[in-house]
């Protein structure tokens, strides 16, 4: 579904990604772990071109999205993204947050967009908040709304950029619960996270990144149970 070849990204002289190769299959849940500064978030943000890669190719559903002539907006409709800091639209109500893109971008009739939005709010357990504004929500609720907002576009893949890192500890569970349900529903997901328990439980594949490269990858049992690379071992010994 997503195929990444020799992906490189530099900021000025600083090389963040030093050639990433990965293929992500439909329905797969890929969890990217690694120390901070390893390029995990940059890698994720390159997948929907929020960061423009300095080199390499990314193919999504057969289309070369890194191609200059490719219309990235059309691709982004099919790639939902959830951010560390939620980035809900503060001047819009919860329902408007969910309906804006489907109505404006996909030209969905408002009634249909509203039906889908209400459905999603039920899924994330926040139906009663539809008329609230983001400032009236807790961090955990904001992130669940942000997930619902991304899902409202009915994406084919969901990208999660450290979705629980900005949350108070007691709110992490509710967000992970929603993500787990999503994974069980067969959604293709790429997740950058520090939640190792969640990674082990929900991930189909664990990718360990360090220094702008994929150092090791495999099933959770392989990576967590029997890491091969010394850097993976070192990292896991610190976080587990």
Partner 1 sequence: MNMFSVFWDYRTYFATGIQYTLLLAAIGVICGFVLGIIISLMRMSRFWLPKMIGSVWVEVLRGTPMVVQLFIIHYGLVAFGVKFTPIESGAITLSINSSAYLAEVFRAGIQGVDRGQSEAARSLGMTRSMTMRYIVLPQAVKSVLPAIGNEFITIIKESSIVSFIGVTDLMYQSGAIQGITYDYLSPLLVIAAIYFIMTFTLSKLLGAFERRLNTDDQR
Residues that bind partner 1 (CB under 8 A): 48, 50, 73-74, 76-77, 79-81, 83, 85, 87-91, 100-101, 104-106, 133-135, 146, 149-150, 153
Q: How far is the CB of 90 from partner 1 (least distance, A)?
A: 5
φ, ψ of residue 4 in degrees (nearest 5): -115, 125
Helix axes 139-151, 110-123, angle to 10 degrees: 130
Instruction: Kindly give, in sequence order, each residue whose CB lies less than 8 Å from that of residue 71, ignoring residues fewer than 6 positions away.
Output: none
CB of 88 to partner 1, least distance (A): 8
| Minimum CB distance to partner 1 smaller for 4 or for 137 | 137
Residue 120 vs 214, nearer CB to partner 1: 120
- The distance of closest approach from Cβ of residue 49 to partner 1 in the complex, given in angstroms and rounded to an integer, is 9
**Residue 76 Cβ vs partner 1, minimum distance, rounded to whole Å:** 4
Both tokens assigned to 101: 């893109």
Closer of 126 and 206 to partner 1 (Cβ) = 126
Beta carbon nearer to partner 1, 167 or 214? 167
Cα radius of gyration rounded to whole Å, the chain: 18
What the block records as the tokens of 110 is 């408002």
Q: Which is nearer to partner 1, 161 or 216 (CB)?
A: 161
CB of 163 to partner 1, least distance (A): 13
Supply the minimum distance, in Å, between the C-beta of residue 52 and partner 1: 12
> Any residues with CB less than 8 A from the CB of 60 and at least 6 apart, and which?
1, 2, 3, 47, 75, 78, 79, 157
d(CA 39, CA 111): 41
Give the residue with the Cβ less far from partner 1, 73 or 226: 73
Tell me the CB-side half-sphere exposure of residue 56, using CA atoms within 13 A: 24
> Which residues lie across from 18 on neighbouring strands?
8
């Amino acid at each position: 579904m997503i195929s990444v070849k020799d992906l490189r990204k530099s900021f000025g002289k600083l090389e963040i990604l030093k050639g990433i190769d990965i293929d992500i299959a439909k329905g797969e849940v890929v969890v990217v772990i690694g120390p901070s500064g390893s390029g995990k978030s940059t890698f994720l943000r390159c997948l929907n071109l929020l960061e423009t890669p300095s080199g390499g190719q990314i193919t999504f559903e057969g289309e070369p999205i890194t191609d200059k002539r490719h219309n990235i907006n059309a691709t982004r409709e099919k790639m939902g993204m959830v951010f560390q800091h939620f980035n809900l639209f503060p001047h819009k109500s919860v329902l408007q947050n969910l309906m804006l893109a489907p109505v404006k971008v996909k030209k969905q009739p408002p009634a249909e967009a509203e039906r889908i939005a209400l459905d999603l709010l039920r899924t994330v357990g926040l139906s009663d908040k539809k008329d609230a504004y983001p400032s009236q929500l807790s961090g955990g609720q904001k992130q669940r709304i942000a997930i619902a907002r991304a899902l409202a576009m009915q994406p084919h893949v969901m990208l999660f950029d450290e979705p629980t890192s900005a949350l108070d500890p007691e709110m992490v569970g509710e967000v992970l619960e929603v993500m787990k349900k999503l994974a069980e529903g067969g959604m293709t997901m790429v997740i950058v996270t520090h939640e190792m328990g969640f990674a082990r439980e929900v991930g189909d594949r664990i990718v360990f990144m360090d220094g702008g490269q994929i150092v090791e990858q495999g099933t959770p049992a392989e990576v967590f149970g029997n890491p091969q690379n010394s850097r993976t071992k070192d990292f896991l010994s610190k976080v587990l």
